[in-house]
Amino acid sequence: MTASIIDGKKIAQHIQSTTAERVSQLKEKGITPGLAVILVGNNQASRTYVSMKRKACEKIGMHSVLIELADDTTEEGLINKVNELNEDNTIHGILVQLPLPSQIDEINIIESIDPNKDVDGFHPINVGRLMTGGEAFYPCTPYGIIEMLKYEQVELRGKHAVVVGRSNIVGKPMGQLLLKEDATVTYCHSRTADLAYHTKQADIIIAAVGIRNLITADHIKDGAVIIDVGMNRDDEGKLCGDVDYQNCLPKAGAITPVPGGVGPMTITMLLANTAESAERTLTRKTQS
């Protein structure tokens, strides 16, 4: 048996073209969805991510604004900028690119974003609503993974999903989203005793750690669906995930490659969340 390879690029393109249709419908109603990205300092990786996000926005007809602030920007200065965008009716999504310089507390910044424009889904209101229900934005990477699993028609109800990693941006919300889909969820992390004991029982494994080849063929059961979130570099500097892809391929039921798996889904769901935010303003207008 060889696993089917889940093509993240293809799924991302499909969702992006649906989002582009939503954008053109919104434009017909007089609203152009707008995403503002704030970049503080000169981190090269952040600059690359921001530029990819802006290009993706423009490609599907969204309005995009980049606000670049100096490395020595104060927390107050950044909050003032966020407040301006909170009040700006042409902006439906606000994203502050992380990490931030050390003089700025990330939590304070995330909490200053209007939850209705928090398209990253990191604000405590959105995190809370992910757990309790209600109108929320979901963090883009785990949201993209759920969409990917649905596109591939992977049954989640009643299945055992093991999430390796418990960060606020990937692991924790991933588990909650799987729970919403009626999966039985186990979280593993750096203090988990006997990782393989847990992963071997999984119908679905989500590896979100940042350690190359952490998940080997000995960690998985036959036919498991393996989603690799990790972004690491191999000895030659090539991008690779957390999963020993070549050795898991013959054993897994389905698997995401790195690159070309989860990666393209993250920006895609940022666009979908921004379109969603613009659609919600329209609903709020008709309700008031």
Annotated binding site: 165-167
Residue with smaller CB distance to ligand NDP, 31 or 270: 270
Residue 121 and residue 143 in contact, taking contact as beta carbons nearer than 8 Å: yes
176 scored as a contact of ligand NDP (CB under 6 A) = no
Distances from the Cα of 210 to the Cαs of 83, 114, 149, 176, 243, in angstroms? Answer: 34, 31, 21, 20, 10
Q: In the stretch 248-287, what mask flags binding to ligand NDP with x, by CB under 6 A?
A: --------------xx--x---------------------
Distance of CA 178 to the CA centre of its chain: 14
Q: b/e string for 152-176 if b means 16 or more Cβ within 10 A?
A: eebebeebbbbbbbbbebbbbbbbb
| H-helix segments, the chain | 8-28, 44-59, 75-87, 106-112, 124-132, 140-151, 171-180, 195-199, 245-248, 263-287
Strands 184-188, 225-228: pairing is unpaired
Residue with smaller CB distance to ligand NDP, 55 or 189: 189
CA pair distance 196, 233, nearest whole angstrom: 23
Q: Which stretch binds ligand NDP (CB under 6 A): 21-29, 107-115, 158-166, 272-280?
A: 158-166
Angle at 265 between CA 8 and CA 141, to 5 degrees: 130
> Position 228: which residue type?
D
Q: State the binding site for NADP(+).
A: 165-167
Of 33-62, which residues contact ligand NDP (CB under 6 A)? none
Min separation Cβ 239 and ligand NDP, Å:
10
Residue with smaller CB distance to ligand NDP, 63 or 166: 166
195 scored as a contact of ligand NDP (CB under 6 A) = yes
Residue 72 and residue 99 in contact, taking contact as beta carbons nearer than 8 Å: no
Half-sphere exposure of 54 (CA within 13 A, CB side): 15
Residues with catalytic roles: 53, 97, 120
The SS3 call for residue 231 is: coil
229 scored as a contact of ligand NDP (CB under 6 A) = yes
Residue with smaller CB distance to ligand NDP, 73 or 274: 274
Min separation Cβ 89 and ligand NDP, Å:
30
141 scored as a contact of ligand NDP (CB under 6 A) = yes
Residue with smaller CB distance to ligand NDP, 91 or 122: 122
Among 209, 226, 240, 255, binds ligand NDP (CB under 6 A): 209
Among 45, 102, 133, 191, binds ligand NDP (CB under 6 A): 191
- Please give the residue ranges that form the binding site for ligand NDP (CB under 6 A): 141, 164-167, 169-171, 188-192, 195, 208-211, 214, 229-232, 262-263, 266
